[in-house]
Structure 1
Amino acid sequence: MAAPLTIRPVTTKRDRVAFIDLPFRLYADDPNWVPPLRGEALGLIDPAKNGWFSHAEAQLFLAWEDKRVVGRISAHIDTLALTMPAAQGFGPGVGQWGLMEAEREDVFRALLAAAEEWLRKRGMVRALGPISMSIWEEPGLLVEGFDHPPTIMMGHAKPDYRGWIEAADYRQVKKLLTYDLDITGDFPPIVKRIIQSGERNPRIVIREVDKRRFDEEAAIILAILNDAWSDNWGFVPLTPPEIRDVGVKLKPIVFNDLIRIAEVDGRPVAFMITLPDLNEAIAPLKGNLLPFGWAKLLLWLRKPKVRTMRVPLMGVLKELQSSRMASQLAFMMIEYIKRASVERYGATRSEIGWILEDNQGMRSIAETIDSKVNKVYLIYERTL
């Protein structure tokens, strides 16, 4: 006789460890799943280590059959998201769920019911998911691109999950795209001409960031980001606690020549962040830094050699976004970072994104340099 299925909230350290450990078993035979470092995964769900919790609350749930964990989910409410315009996706009464993994569809449905009930009890009238857990972390469900591993800060999933979510009366609300770019060759002639024109313009300076002034440079980028993205679907401004904790997490893979700030007449107006794909280094570690994983990772971080770079964020001040200069600055930053990626880090490809499907400006830039969509993620919604 099968053990009864029970859904219980995560309340103890042992529960949190079980929550983190479940994917290691579910994806054990999936060559394209990248095991996260367990310490980093635990930090994501720890309010003391994730600045997102300064304006959000969450409840984690585990599905148990006897003493065996067979599923997990998070339910969460971002108080900043509640203040955003409803036309941009969030707004009053909108909660989220994410970090979902399950062995079977009935387990998923039970977990989803628990997450939705938690949201209802707190006054939420609509649910978005999966969002794990901030929109800036791993939003969306992978539905295309299962045949190759995700890059750093992008998610992986089982193909079955899409059908389970849609069978639970969730409808697609937004599609997120990532683009694959071969960076070993030249860009098309028109792009090269645009870059050369920008290089002749004395008003434009494309500079590297200075990691020694990390906080100052981060503040410049944050100011541009919060302006550039403020009208985008799903936008929630990044806060100082989040910037602090993301900085601690990402500072080891921040390199001056891979992050550029564009200045016009001495004023910062655009930026582009590129990160070496840390997943290439951590995949062989199977989630553990001990006994020797820490030494291997430290050696890699000193002078990373990677196949792939990821461009998680670009931004141009809104006042320039409909101008010719916006795309010119973007192409210049892309070109300069591409050169450094190939010459200094041995990279051969880059992944750009995520990009909203309806962000025609960014999609046009990605397609003009001959990049192609390689992964598709969906975010769903349902009235509670």
Structure 2
Amino acid sequence: MTDKIDIAPVSGKRDLDAFIDLSYRLNANDPNWVPPLRADMVELLTPGRNPFHDHARVQYFLARRAGRVVGRISAHIDELALAQPAEQGMGPGTGNWGLMEAEDEAVMHALIGAAENWLREQGMTRVVAPLSMSIWEEPGLLTMGHDHPPMIMMGHHNAAYQGWVESAGGYQVAKKLYTYDLDHVREGFPELVNRIVAMGERNPRIRIRRVNKADFENEAQIIIRILNEAWSKNWGFVPFTEREKSYAGKKLKPIILEGTNMIAELDGEPVAFMMSLPDINTRLIHMGGKLYPFNWVKLLWWLRNPKCENFRVPLMGVVTRLQNSRMASQLAFMMIEYIRRSAAGDYGARRAEVGWILEDNQGMVAIADAINSKPNREYTIWSKSL
């Protein structure tokens, strides 16, 4: 076999199929890798189906040795990210790469080089990576926590990839993201948290209500409006477009369980939310990325009468004027306690995962500490001048 590595842009359906198929082959022997549904991967990568492409320039690359596919990578530029302040991580001249898979270090380096060259040709002067593909999808490379499967909508990567990225040259850590493991969902939270929740329940200004799944499209609009405001100053933030709001609502509705998502109102106004999702990965890990011919029946049956031991809390937000206040913390503790009660009582939850959380988000880290959760997965994002 020749050592020559050929890198070429993805062109046509056959190449796109090869791009998608590679991850299943390279990760087949990792018991903790969760095969994504192949239909979801096609949707993610296809303009017109994934609204990310409405405001992004994207190029996929395949690496081959002697005609055999041995690696892949995406290079992309989010026009909305370019418009963000540079001090928040993105900003003018910043492109990204992601979705990388490689058989070995030489292939990884060649792929990263191809992505960097494409970004330079597009006028970019800096890269922040990996993002697969938006900050709202699967940001970062797993650098701690390879010994257990990821929960829903979190990535899992070959442990060797960290060293291969670091040896590519010029990459500096830009940010670390953490998920926090909560293994005592049924037992409840410490007494201090219980007292804070009880105080909030006596406050007539506060109302914690369940998200109404029957009106989920409108509820999703409320949630994303709060999210766009709450996260607007966060590192890496990119706002949701109107089309992305609708898309997210339709994608999430089938896995939204009654009673496990909350909106907090203050004086009748929605001011905070907390989202919780059942860990559907416990089902997907056995499906090999395929719904047909029979897996869709199993999944549909489970969604109609779900019992789920694992939940993930991926998102929480509070309007800007309340951030860093006692009220914000109180609302957060109330929402997570109400979610805990429903998840444990109605669906049999035993464990939850909170995050991702930025390493320097002191408010969320403090909340995670207060409920006695511990970091269990770390994702790293690097940056480099081009």
Does the TM-score normalized on the shorter chain lie above 0.5? yes
SS of residue matched to 1:151: coil
Alpha carbons 2:48, 2:54 under 8 Å: kept: no
Range moving further from structure 2, 73-82 or 206-215: 206-215
Residue 58 (structure 2) aligns with: 58
Q: Distance in 1 between matches of 2:384 and 2:4?
A: 28
Residue 308 (structure 1) aligns with: 310
Q: Distance in 1 between matches of 2:17 and 2:337?
A: 43
Q: Distance in 1 between matches of 2:142 and 2:298?
A: 30
The structure 2 residue matched to 1:245, chosen from 247, 255, 272, is: 247
Q: Distance in 1 between matches of 2:27 and 2:309?
A: 23
Residue 346 (structure 1) aligns with: 348
Residue 278 (structure 2) aligns with: 276
- Say if 2:173 is the partner of 1:175: no
Range moving further from structure 2, 137-146 or 10-19: 10-19
- Say if 2:166 is the partner of 1:152: no
Alpha carbons 1:51, 1:244 under 8 Å: kept: no
- CA drift of 1:212 comes to 1.8
- CA drift of 1:3 comes to 5.9
Q: Distance in 2 between matches of 1:45 and 1:229?
A: 26
Alpha carbons 1:54, 1:241 under 8 Å: kept: no
Equivalent positions of 1:81-100 (< 5 A) are 81-100=81-100
Q: CA RMSD in A?
A: 0.9
Equivalent positions of 1:121-160 (< 5 A) are 121-160=121-160
Alpha carbons 2:222, 2:270 under 8 Å: kept: yes
Equivalent positions of 1:190-339 (< 5 A) are 190-339=192-341
Q: Distance in 1 between matches of 2:328 and 2:308?
A: 29
The TM-score, its normalising length taken from structure 1, stands at 0.98
Report the residue type matching 1:111 in the other structure.
Answer: L
Q: Distance in 2 between matches of 1:304 and 1:212?
A: 18
- CA drift of 1:138 comes to 0.1
Alpha carbons 2:180, 2:353 under 8 Å: kept: yes
Alpha carbons 1:145, 1:375 under 8 Å: kept: yes
Residue 374 (structure 1) aligns with: 376
Alpha carbons 2:2, 2:66 under 8 Å: kept: no
- CA drift of 1:167 comes to 1.1
Superposed CA offset, 1:55-87 (max 9, x none): 111100000122311000000000000000000
Report the residue type matching 2:304 in the other structure.
Answer: R
Q: Distance in 1 between matches of 2:225 and 2:295?
A: 36
- CA drift of 1:214 comes to 1.7
Alpha carbons 1:313, 1:353 under 8 Å: kept: yes
Alpha carbons 1:51, 1:243 under 8 Å: kept: no
Report the residue type matching 2:171 in the other structure.
Answer: Y
Q: Distance in 1 between matches of 2:251 and 2:15?
A: 24
| Runs of 5+ unmatched residues, structure 2 | none
Alpha carbons 2:213, 2:256 under 8 Å: kept: yes
- Say if 2:163 is the partner of 1:163: yes
Q: Distance in 2 between matches of 1:215 and 1:247?
A: 6
Percent sequence identity over aligned pairs? 59
| Runs of 5+ unmatched residues, structure 1 | none
Report the residue type matching 2:298 in the other structure.
Answer: K
Q: Distance in 2 between matches of 1:189 and 1:5?
A: 59
Residue 40 (structure 1) aligns with: 40
Count how many residue pairs are aligned between Structure 1 and Structure 2. 384
Superposed CA offset, 1:142-191 (max 9, x none): 00000000011100011111111111221101000000002121211110
SS of residue matched to 1:285: coil
Q: Distance in 1 between matches of 2:174 and 2:216?
A: 36
Q: Distance in 2 between matches of 1:210 and 1:108?
A: 46
Alpha carbons 1:171, 1:380 under 8 Å: kept: yes
Q: Which portions of structure 1, spanning 4 or more consecutive aligned residues, are displaced by more than 4 angstroms?
A: none
- Say if 2:71 is the partner of 1:71: yes
Q: Distance in 1 between matches of 2:48 and 2:280?
A: 24
Alpha carbons 1:88, 1:234 under 8 Å: kept: yes
SS of residue matched to 1:374: strand
- CA drift of 1:107 comes to 0.4
SS of residue matched to 1:30: coil
Report the residue type matching 1:5 in the other structure.
Answer: I
The structure 2 residue matched to 1:362, chosen from 355, 358, 364, is: 364
- CA drift of 1:90 comes to 0.4
Report the residue type matching 1:273 in the other structure.
Answer: M
Superposed CA offset, 1:345-383 (max 9, x none): 111011000000000000000110000000000000110
